[in-house]
Chains A and B, each alone.
Chain A
Amino acid sequence: MVKFKIKWFGVFCSIIFSSCNKTEIQPGYASIYITFQYTFGSHQSLQWDSLLYVTCNQDTISFSRLEYILSNFAFYSKGKIYKQKGSFYINPKENKNIVKIDSVLGINYDSISFTIGDNHLQGIYDIDIMSMFWPDMMGGGYHFLKLEGYYTHNTMKMGYAMHAGGFPLSPIKYTLKCPITISHLSHTLTLNHKLDKWFDGTSCYKVSSYNYSMGVDSLMIKILQNGKFCINFLQFK
């Protein structure tokens, strides 16, 4: 009798949990959480608002704002490409530092690609991504990156802002070799975001000379070229 009651209780519970709106769990698919660790040269973590970081031009700088858009995710397996839709806003200072990619087919991948920035976001986005809007009168699109802080100039703290994005600039594309074996329903991919590379990826960006990139295409292009080297694979588990 007790067994029978338990059986009916089980049926009752399963119906409660399954009869209405539910999140579909597709067999053979996984969710991948992509997260970023921030470093600057030998500094293995980022301390906000601290004048600690010395650039290639010997400028001592701090970081007070870092916002960027990630988009165009794709996973590669034996020459096949599995594209993922969606654009994501990253702002580590506000603890928005994780991208969740759903429905990743449960196979092995050898590399991943994505972009920092995208001028063709579609659909309705949240207030954070809207804050990256790039006015039409200046070409339209979105900020790919906002990197701001201070540097010291004759003992005085001065501001810098490295913004890049909007049309006609192209987002920065990253293709990272990384072995991804999907064996669980969710995995975490950790990437290293090397902030120093925004300043010296291919050429030295002199903060004290060009503290504002806004409205100067050549500086924005320089930032985007440097930025190509700022993301590395760290670990997947």
Chain B
Amino acid sequence: MKYRGNFLIRGLILVIVTFFFNCKKKNNNVFINECIIDTTSYYLNLPPFFPKIPSYNLLQLKKAKIELGKKLYYDSRISIFGKSCSSCHVQEQAFSNNSVNSQHHINLIFNKNFLWDGKIQTGILDVMEFEVNDFFKTNPDAISSDEEYKKMFCRAYGTYEITNEKIAECLAQFISTIVSGNSKFERYLRAEYTMTDEEYNGFNIFVTEKGDCFHCHTLPLMTDNSFRNIGLDSIFNSTNWGLFEHTKNYADIGKYKVPSLINVALTQPYMHDGRFQTLEEVINFYDHGIKYSSTLDPIMMKNNRLQVGLQLTEKEKSDLKAFLLTLTDSSLLNNSIYR
């Protein structure tokens, strides 16, 4: 009976302890393996009008992991080729790189397809695992003796162990925080900026059938995340298969990811192969340079576009460019939280 009583008390203690520990911890510091984990959450401040974060990109953002991700982002030791993420994604160039035509790292938390040819079509964590394991061929030993990293991994994970999986997660966490929402255009949407006549006229061309940009570059993210053959080429080979490279579906030949146009003025050169150096070249291409092929996107053939083009006047082209320039978020380019 006495034994049973003891057992009852032990059971009750177990229940109480379990109840308290099973719920959300208020204390963010947890002591494990001589490490103090900092589990402080990070809350993204998203601009108005932005959609929900897709479930496959929902990470439990933690300050310690983001800080670690930021350090890793700028560290060339994580690549066996001696390059860091920031080598190809320069903050001043809107996290792209004008010399290597890399896609920018802005608002990736809203992406559902990654890389120009759709090699990764799952979440932001998967694309970072690809970058770490396949692109960088990261060897975690390269940073394992760095005392500062040891402390940071300790804070983030409660252990000194450094793995590619953790490196990828921290990079994904940091990149998730790079959100742009303060361009002139976004301020216009919030009624904080008045567009010039040229910018407004360009906006009008952008979001009407006149320029017909909006079907693929959907507001407010300026991409619909789809893959399309926009008519850059009429002959295809292994250099320009696009999405077909991965799906082996002939209907996907020549299709590439529709990029977001946020900060487009800073992300030259343009197109998947960087064939255009200026926005004027891009606008001229859409105006009268589209080439026919059997997988050319239906939208690109609209209203005899192949024969007569968009027929934009020089003034309209100039206005369209003026609108595209309103998509530059200067506040992002020098923001110290990303350095």
Contact = CB atoms under 8 A, between A and B. Distances in A.
Contacts of A20: 22-24
Contact of A160 (B22, B212, B298): B298
A137 B22 CA distance: 51
B218 A131 contact: yes
Given A137-B204, A137-B208, A158-B301, A127 B110 contact: yes
Interface string A148-165: 111000000111110000
A129 interface: yes
A15 B110 CA distance: 36
Interface in B4-60: 4, 7, 11, 14-15, 18-19, 22-24, 50-52, 54
Contacts of B296: 159
A126 interface: yes
A137 B207 contact: yes
B18 A130 contact: no
A131 B224 contact: yes
B100 interface: no
A215 to B, nearest CB: 4
A49 B243 CA distance: 15
Q: How large is the interface on B (under 10, 10 to 19, 20 to 34, 35 or more residues)?
A: 35 or more
Nearest to B16: A15
Interface stretch (A4-12, A106-114, A170-178): A4-12
- 7 shortest interchain CB distances as A-B pairs: A159-B298, A135-B207, A49-B251, A131-B224, A215-B209, A159-B301, A8-B11
A113 B52 CA distance: 27
A16 B23 CA distance: 9
Contact of B112 (A12, A125, A127): A127
A91 B15 CA distance: 47
Interface string B223-256: 0111000000000000000000000011100000
Contacts of A137: 203-204, 207-208
Interface of B: 4, 7, 11, 14-15, 18-19, 22-24, 50-52, 54, 110, 112, 203-204, 207-209, 212, 214, 218-221, 224-226, 249-251, 294, 296-303
B4 A4 contact: yes
Interface of A: 4, 8, 11-12, 15-16, 19-20, 48-49, 64-65, 124-127, 129-131, 133, 135-138, 148-150, 157-161, 211-212, 214-215
Contacts of B18: 12, 15-16, 19
A124 B220 CA distance: 13
B219 A135 contact: yes
A20 B249 CA distance: 46
Give chain B's interface secondary structure class.
loop
Contact of B51 (A4, A64, A125, A161): A125
A11 B15 contact: yes
B300 A126 contact: no
7 contacts: A19-B18, A64-B251, A127-B54, A130-B51, A130-B218, A135-B214, A159-B299
Contacts of B226: 131
Contacts of B301: 158-159, 211
B221 A150 contact: no
Contacts of A11: 11, 15
A64 B15 contact: no
A161 B298 contact: yes
Contacts of B14: 8, 12
Contacts of B204: 137
B51 A126 contact: yes
Contacts of B112: 127
A129 B219 CA distance: 11
Nearest to B251: A49
Nearest to B206: A135
Contacts of A131: 218, 224-226
Contacts of B250: 49
B298 A149 contact: yes
A4 B226 CA distance: 59
Contacts of B54: 126-127
Given A15-B22, A138-B208, A127 B11 contact: no
B207 A129 contact: no
A150 to B, nearest CB: 7
A219 B255 CA distance: 29
Nearest to A14: B15
B118 to A, nearest CB: 12
A130 B49 CA distance: 10
A125 B220 CA distance: 12
B305 to A, nearest CB: 10
